[in-house]
């Protein structure tokens, strides 16, 4: 179940990232609060051309507008990712996956153990067999699973007027619809950085060995 949900989530992430980029291109400006438009001073502005001529970017041309299909695919990928995440959480709770593979032990959280990992962050020190992670990796995965992903779901729902009309607290806590959009963007940047480090660590530990193990469930040291 871990392998299946991993690859479904990976596909959803690719779909969300590509379509999210297209959505940002339609208005590459971010605001804070409830309102934000071309007449509002942005909190940050990404220096790229837009796909809409009404958005001031400083460029003398606009990109092709792909906002229609990208929004539809973005929402579809998001709901598939949410359902997959729920399956993963239920399966992980029932099988003890989180306690066994992700929650660090007290010994691993000691200052000495964490110090060894931080001093050599690119070293994959296997502490519980071939499928174990070092404590820094465990903590990172837990933060992504129980922190970053729920935050992305929350801010995504907070941008929907249909959802916030029923549960307005989802957006008021964040400071407004534009605040939710800005937080959603920075959350995406954080997840992309996590993905880059994740792939880097995979390459350092043996890309094909680890990928084959994640597909087949079998791992052979030295193969």
Q: Residues 72-105: pLDDT tens digits? A: 999 999 999 999 999 999 999 999 999 888 888 8
Show the domain range for 33.
1-70
- Residue 119 lies inside a defined structural domain of this protein: yes
Indicate whether 2 and 109 sit together in one domain.
Answer: no
CA 74 to chain centre: 14
Same domain, 123 and 52: no
The number of folded domains in the chain is: 2
pLDDT of residue 125: 47
Q: How confident is the model at residue 130 (pLDDT cuts 50, 70, 90)?
A: very low
How far is it, in rounded angstroms, from Cα 105 to Cα 141?
15
Task: Average the pLDDT over each of 23-27, 125-129, 171-175 and give the range with the smallest value.
Answer: 125-129
Cα 100 to Cα 23, 64, 91, 193, 202, distances in angstroms: 39, 49, 13, 26, 21
The pLDDT tens digits for 193-218 are: 999 999 998 888 788 888 888 888 77
Determine contact, residues 134/127, Cβ cutoff 8 Å. yes
Q: How many CB atoms lie within 10 A of CB 222?
A: 5
Per-residue pLDDT at 17 exceeds 50: yes
In a domain, residue 195? The reply is: yes
Q: Are residues 103 and 63 in the same domain?
A: no
Residue 171: strand pairing partners: none
Q: Characterize 134-148 residue by residue with b for buried, 16 or more Cβ atoms within 10 angstroms of its Cβ, and e for exposed.
A: bbbbbbbbeeebeeb
């Amino acid at each position: 179940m871990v392998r299946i949900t991993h690859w479904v989530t990976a596909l959803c992430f690719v779909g969300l990232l590509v379509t999210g980029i297209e959505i940002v291109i339609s208005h590459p400006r971010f605001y804070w609060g409830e309102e934000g438009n071309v007449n509002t001073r942005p909190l940050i502005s990404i220096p790229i051309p837009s796909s809409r001529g009404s958005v001031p970017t400083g460029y003398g041309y606009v990109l092709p507008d792909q906002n229609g299909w990208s929004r539809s695919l973005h929402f579809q990928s998001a709901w598939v990712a949410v359902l997959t995440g729920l399956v993963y959480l239920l399966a992980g709770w029932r099988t003890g996956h989180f306690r066994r593979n992700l929650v660090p032990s007290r010994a691993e959280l000691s200052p000495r153990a964490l110090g060894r990992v931080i001093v050599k962050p690119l070293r994959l020190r296997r502490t519980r067999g071939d499928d174990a992670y070092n404590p820094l990796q465990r903590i990172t995965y837990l933060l992504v699973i129980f922190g970053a992903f729920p935050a992305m779901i929350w801010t995504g729902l907070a941008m929907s007027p249909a959802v916030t009309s029923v549960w307005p607290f989802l957006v008021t806590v964040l400071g407004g619809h534009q605040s939710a959009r800005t937080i959603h963007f920075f959350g995406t940047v954080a997840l992309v950085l996590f993905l880059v480090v994740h792939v880097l660590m995979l390459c350092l530990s043996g890309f094909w060995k680890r990928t084959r193990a994640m597909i087949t469930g079998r791992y052979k040291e030295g193969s």
